[in-house]
Amino acid sequence: MKNFFGIIGGMGTKATETFITAINDLTPAHSDQEYLNYLVINDAQVPDRTASILGTSAANPLPYLLDDIEKLNACGADFAVVTCNTAHYFLPQLNQAANFPILNMPELAVAQCFKPTIKHPRIGLLATKGTIDAHIYQHYIEALGGEVVVLEPAWQKMTMQLIYEDIKDNDYVDQPKYHTLINRLLLDARCDYVILGCTELSVAQAREPYPSEFVIDAQAILAQTAVTMALNTRNSTQPLHN
């Protein structure tokens, strides 16, 4: 297979399914052959990234992720995506091991919050405690002059319940809970934008969408970028016809 990209998923699997659906929906295709080529590694055995970062588990996700990178190296992927925000904590090591570019989901999502009309946006971050404590998003937001707003502990606990107990454990999106969390940042905290910085929250947005252009779905941005990059790669390598 030529002209393909890699998807390192399984963190979790439902979120990976949401990403693949987005890829297919965003592709301008009218036949089987017009869809994009991609190789999905649904590595469901990758240990919990938040538990590793917070030190509540000794299981290290990095060797699993590096093994996935090596598989894509061997197959000759053009580029890759990692469908887990918290796993981007390990992005420097993955970039060193990869023979191809890896799209940076947090960086891509943050870029959507900076418009000429808002010079120093207040950006609410809805994510796992691991992503927040590791400053995965804060680094990019603050470097561009934005202000990061995170939830108070009780609300963050509710976010973790939504991600782990509702979506990961029971494949269920509690719409009132999900929308209340966004309201807490977008309305109560007067944020200019709210970033959905966890792919389980992308599942929530796909099933129970919060209707606002100021809610930035990081995985959706990643999907759009991947489709654009894959189409450009395919078009640049197709033979010219006279």
Q: What residues act catalytically?
A: 84, 198
Total length of the chain: 242
Q: What b/e sequence results for 27-52 when a residue is b if at least 16 CB atoms lie within 10 Å of its CB, and e otherwise?
A: eeeeeeeeebebbbbbbeebebbbbb
40 phi and psi, to 5 degrees?
A: -100, 125
Asked if 199 and 167 touch (Cβ cutoff 8 Å), the reply is no
Token digits for 36?
A: 């994009």
CA distance 143 to 166: 34
